Amino acid sequence: MTLPHSPGNVGEPRPPGAVQVHRLERRQEEEQQEQRQHSLHMGSSVQRRTFRSSEEEYQFSAADYALAAALALTASSETSWEAQLRRRSSAVELEERGQKRVGFGNDLERTEIAFLRTQWLLRQSRDRKALRRRTEEKVREAKELRELCSSRGPWFWIPLRSHAVWEHTTVLLTCTIQASPPPQVTWYKNDTRLDPRLFPAGKYRITNNYGLLTLEIRRCTAEDAATYTVMVKNAYGQASSFAKVLVRTYLGKDAGFDSEIFKRLMFGPSVEFTSVLKPVFAREKEPFSLTCLFSEDVLDAEQNIQWSRDGRLLRSSSRRQILYADRRASLKVSSAYKEDEGFYTVQVTSPFGLQEQSTYVFVKDAAAEELGAPGSPLNVRCLDVNRDCLILTWTPPSDTRGSPIFGYAIERCQGESGQWVPCHEAPGGTCRCPIQGLVEGQSYRFRVRAINKAGSSVPSKASEPVVMGDHDEARRKIEIPFGLGNKITVNTDFEDFVTIPSPPTNVHASESRETYVVLGWEEPRPRGKAPLTYALEKSVIGSGTWEAISTETPVKSPRFALLDLEKGKSYVFRVRAMNQYGMSDPSEPSEPITLKGKPATLPPPAQVQAFRDTQTSVSLTWDPVKESPELLGYYIYSREAGSSEWQTVNNKPIQGNSFTVPGLRTGKEYEFCVRSVSEAGVGDSSAATEPIRVKQALATPSAPYDFILLNCGKNDMVIGWKPPKRRGGGKILGYFLDQHDSEELDWHPVNQQPVPTQVCKVSNLREGHFYEFRARAANWAGVGELSAPSSLFECKEWTMPQPGPPYDVRAFEVRATSLMLKWEPPLYTGAGPVTGYRISFQEEGSEQWKPVTPDPISGTHLRISDLQPGKSYVFQVQAVNSAGPGQPSMPTDPILLEDKPDAPEIKVGVDEEGFIYLAFEAPGAPDSSEFQWSKDYKGPLDPQRVKIEEEVNKSKVILKEPGLEDLGTYSVVVTDADEDISASHTLTEEELDKLKKLSHEIRNPVIKLISGWNVDILEQGEVRLWLEVEKLSPAAELHLIFNEKEIFSSPNRKINFDREKGLVEVIIQNLSEDDKGSYTAQLQDGKAKNQITLALVDDDFDKLLRKADAKRRDWKRKQGPYFEEFLQWKVTEDCQVLLTCKVTNTKKETCFQWFFQKKETPDGQYDPQTGAGLLCIKELSREDMGTYRAVVSDDRGLDDTILDLTGEALDAVFTELGRIGVLSATPLKIQGTEEGIRIFSKVKYYNMEYMKTTWFHKEKRLESSDRVRAGTTLNEIWLHILDPKDSDKGKYILEIVAGKEMRQLSADLSGQAFDDAMAEHQRLKALAIIEKNRAKVVRGLPDVATIMEDKTLCLTCVISGDPAPEIFWLKNEQPVTFLDRYHMEVRGSEVTITIEKVNSEDSGRYGVFVKNKYGSETGQVTISVFKHGEEPKVLGEM
């Protein structure tokens, strides 16, 4: 390297600055050279390490990345240190060189060059040593790599690649592998091992030349299009590579790399819909779902399947689920609202583009909580949300259920409380309302109910939650995010500190309605930092005064709704701002503001037109309402022609001006109208459309398909095909066929005029050439789609002995388990006539054909039964002759077996004229359809025996002369229909006999008898004879025959004939012997006749006569007071017998009397208010036996009722008393007595004649004896056991029987019960002994005795007692001393006291006191002594 210098100044010394620059440049050049070498080395190393097979990727571990980062950091630090060291050494060298250069000139420069060269050589030597070390490391690594590669699994250096080739060419698939040891190679075709020995010689050739693998496929055909895979395997692993081969069969847009086969092979299977979304008719608050099926699994379904409603993408939520599983995508809504109504679309991404399906979901109103209440509103939204107020809007419902809406009730829910409270009511003319008094910072939801005179609707769906706040304040702040979760808030309000705010500005009416005005204004500028509230004032124009507007809560928002303004007045308003420091001056007054009138609904749209669409839908269009910014949409209404009631079609307003109404009944006529929807409500209805019949709209047909060669000559072919699947709602007029020679490029038309059938003979062909065909179908709408080309058919004359294929194989009368298969015989019969047909079937998805019948059948139709419902089947037919079975027919399309709910059937009956008919109605038949009838599937019906009548969508076969020749199976097929419309009916002999009988009845009609002759006795004893037949015409005639003579109305016999009710009646006023005989009613109404006879003779007439007389007498009786209820007896629970009756038609003067044995009894009662009579017998006995009679009378007449209480009637009463007595018996009780033990039961009544009692002891009947006595009283049944012993212990049963009533009572006399009873017996027995021997005054002393003075008083009494008692006499409770005049004498049991010459002092209370060891007793008497001439008197108590 030479230093830069100039020849002119070689010996001249350089300035120090130049030397320094020279050294710096030199060092920079060396550093740059080292960097370039290092970069070159690193770049080539990276290239060698990254040059890999396209099938490989280099994998770096986490340790590799960590090591690379550490090396980078170390290199950067070393470079930095070396650079600093160089800079320092360079600075010293420059300084020294400058000094030397000044002193020694060029010698110093040469020294410097030598030094630099030496330094460079040393550095180069050092670099070579480093390079040698790196080379040795590379050699070592390469050696290790070779050792590693000498034993490794296979991998593809060059993989297989896909090919697209023309038919009949050769394709070569190649790939290169590396493996040690050499691997085993296996080739596969579509996952099936490829063995060349199983194919024609030379078809496949497989080679393996030192890792170069090849597969050669010669003369490729369409069957060779597949996925080919090569699998290599050794002891260390395995690897595979695959490629797709596409074989192009013909030129065009569907060939080569643009073909469907290539896309399918390259990009995977195409996802298509295998089901159709149908309209859904849901109901509010109920679930609904949409489901679609796919032909293949959808990869990444969550991203590739999208659901949308009205163009808006839908996501899963708490109320909505979007699911996918097993090739099924579904959208489920758990609770529907009317907001969910709309146009739903599902889209799926596939290699061939975006596939989608759409349908409409209708959500009907929920059932009303109150009958007649309207539907619920919808689309509730919150607008203009401020600190304490907002505007609420909603959409009116489509169905008012016959009564207009006059208001709306608004409810709100605060936060997540779930409690809905009423907050406002809005008038019915608006769907917009201000809501005030809300709390700042709180969240709210709202819902609305519509109200009419029947009540309120169910609530609408709640609005989205809104949080009250100052949105202007939020706009004054800007948030700038930074870092992780941090943000900076910038306040753009740079106002100075303000105490009292300025006045607000721009006071105006932001919204004016019929019932309210929303006042708005702008905040003051400057507004200050303190929170603001506002005070409002109003002034009526012309008043000159301002009035403060009072509010319940402070106004915090620059909005306020005024709800109390008067209509017709103009107002101006002003506003003041307030904060904690004070109130501002008033703002400038607003412009004059008045309430607006009631908002008018929008006019209806014009030009509403209906067009046919499908079999169940109609398309509607209309002119949109112009200049209507408040338009929310349109409601559509429909009704069947002839009906007066409109039905809602949609419950959510439609935004466009067209709609397709689904879910209509095929063949029915409908009318439609449209109404505009705005916040003012639902407008008037448009003019109804003309009635339109629901039918398939006329369109061009789809393409024919499934071409088949039916016959072939030397220069001609007979081609057949299947008709289009979609016929376009009209008759197929014919087909246009094109042909193509495989050796030519162009297609040529076969026919200029349409071929009416699905078979066409093509002539002028070249023998040995291959031809393909395509066709179009034509109907009244035009020529349809062009079909896909058929397969190549060789023009070679058929000479095989077997027959050709049958054609036009069709299925009719498809039901859940059966169908009818028909076909046409082959055009080529082979070596002999066709002797039969073999039918085979295949389940969809299976490749195995199974025979339907074990043997061939002879006909060209067959009913196939015992199939599995819900499955799809494919059928084909083969003709059989003497040479064997021929070519199979073209298989049918898959046929799904199911019972369609609306599938029409043949109806058999008799018409009004008595003709037997078979009728078939097909509402879904196209207008051009024909009804093709056949009998036993053998062609058209015989016109000599039947008559066919055609109507719109109807056909009727009338049997002219029904007979055995008409028995058989009648079938009908509707032509030109996209779906199978067919049915059959087998007419049996039994059914025909019933029809012929009904026909005879219709041709020879009989007036239908509803009720034959009936006999009624009327209230006054008249006899009514009547019969009822069906309703008759006004021209009906009646002839009434009595005993072979026609009778007419007379005073005693009235005849009525009501033709409208079919009633014939004869009323006989006084039935007598003259009316005995037969009555015949002869009726005639046009051709219909009937004759009904009644015989009133013998016992029937006598009974009727007696009943009529009794009825007549009863009527006369009831003209005055009479007994409504006759005398009857009733026994009460207290065993009293009540005789009751009831009188009616009484008056004040009416007299009521009771009689017993023809004597009036005063014990009876009568209540004039109720007419009730009552006679109570407290204790019934034989003395009460007799006849009881109640009589009621006044000046209008007399009536009586008699009850005979004798014989059986009396027995019934006693039996009832006995029954009640039996039921009243109390449980048995045990009682100890002085004689023994007594067991008894209390009853309310006992009668020995009608009640029987039996006692049992230990299940043995007891009989009366010396120790056991049984007895009864009126209210007690007892058993007395005298001197009881241990043998008397046990269970005692009392059986009481009265008539059919029987009852058993039991008591257990043992254990404690026996001991207690014995103790009581002993106690009472001892007391009885004491009582027997006790001293007693038995009799003799009177209570009072009077005596005159000077007389002798003698008192005697009888006493008893054992031992003999002691006797004491008392006077005034003091012992009497027997002296002088007092004497006592005892004679046995008689004790006598004598008082001689009594005087007044002897008056007093005397008593005799007796006692012994068992007791004592006192007998008392009062003595009164009166003087001569005085009246005797009794002394009082002393």
Instruction: Answer with the residue of higher pLDDT: 10 or 521.
Output: 521
Q: How far apart are the first and last CA of the chain?
A: 180
Q: What is the pLDDT of residue 767?
A: 92
Main-chain dihedrals φ then ψ at residue 329, nearest 5 degrees? -110, 135
pLDDT, tens digit, for every residue of 878-910? Answer: 999 999 999 999 999 999 999 888 889 999 999
Asked whether the predicted pLDDT for residue 971 surpasses 90, the reply is yes
Check if the beta carbon of residue 1240 is closer than 8 Å to that of residue 1204: no
Asked whether the predicted pLDDT for residue 266 surpasses 60, the reply is no
For residue 129, name the pLDDT band (cuts at 50, 70, 90). confident
**Average pLDDT of the residues in 270-299:** 90
Q: Which residues pair with 390 in a beta bridge?
A: 435
Asked whether the predicted pLDDT for residue 376 surpasses 60, the reply is yes
Distance CA 212, CA 174 (A): 7
Distance CA 129, CA 126 (A): 5
Secondary structure of residue 292 in the 3-state scheme: strand
**Average pLDDT of the residues in 1258-1266:** 84
For residue 2, name the pLDDT band (cuts at 50, 70, 90). very low
Check if the beta carbon of residue 721 is closer than 8 Å to that of residue 766: no
Burial of 1305 from C-beta contacts in 10 A (0-12 / 13-18 / 19+): middle
Q: How far is CA 805 from CA 163, 785, 859, 883, in A?
A: 38, 27, 15, 14
**Average pLDDT of the residues in 284-288:** 94
Q: Which residues pair with 793 in a beta bridge?
A: 771
Q: What is the pLDDT of residue 1327?
A: 83
From 258-262, 301-305, 1059-1063, 1330-1334, the region with the lowest mean pLDDT: 258-262
pLDDT, tens digit, for every residue of 1288-1305? Answer: 888 899 998 888 888 889
Residue type at 388 in one-letter notation: D
Asked whether the predicted pLDDT for residue 686 surpasses 50, the reply is yes
pLDDT, tens digit, for every residue of 584-614? Answer: 889 999 999 998 888 888 999 999 999 998 8
**Average pLDDT of the residues in 1004-1009:** 87
Secondary structure of residue 955 in the 3-state scheme: strand
pTM over 0.75: no
For residue 987, name the pLDDT band (cuts at 50, 70, 90). very high
Q: What is the pLDDT of residue 258?
A: 53
Distance CA 919, CA 956 (A): 4
pLDDT, tens digit, for every residue of 1364-1405? Answer: 888 888 888 888 888 778 888 888 888 888 888 888 888 888
**Average pLDDT of the residues in 383-412:** 92
Q: What is the pLDDT of residue 488?
A: 67
pLDDT, tens digit, for every residue of 19-28? Answer: 444 455 555 6
Q: Which residues pair with 972 in a beta bridge?
A: 933, 983
- Identify the helix (H) or strand (E) that includes residue 408: strand 407-414
Check if the beta carbon of residue 299 is closer than 8 Å to that of residue 278: no
Token readout for 1061 is 């009710």
Distance CA 880, CA 832 (A): 10
Residue type at 296 in one-letter notation: E
% of the chain with per-residue pLDDT over 70: 88
Q: What is the pLDDT of residue 1223?
A: 87
**Average pLDDT of the residues in 808-830:** 93
- Identify the helix (H) or strand (E) that includes residue 695: none
Asked whether the predicted pLDDT for residue 268 surpasses 90, the reply is no
Q: What is the pLDDT of residue 153?
A: 83
Q: What is the pLDDT of residue 1036?
A: 92
Distance CA 1343, CA 804 (A): 148
Q: What is the pLDDT of residue 1413?
A: 83
Of 188, 174, 351, whose CA–CA distance to 262 is shortest? 351
Of 1131, 1204, 1142, whose CA–CA distance to 1171 is shortest? 1142
Q: What is the pLDDT of residue 1275?
A: 85
For residue 169, name the pLDDT band (cuts at 50, 70, 90). confident
Q: What is the pLDDT of residue 497?
A: 59
Distance CA 651, CA 675 (A): 12
Token readout for 490 is 């910038």
Distance CA 179, CA 234 (A): 8
Check if the beta carbon of residue 1012 is closer than 8 Å to that of residue 1092: yes
For residue 471, name the pLDDT band (cuts at 50, 70, 90). low
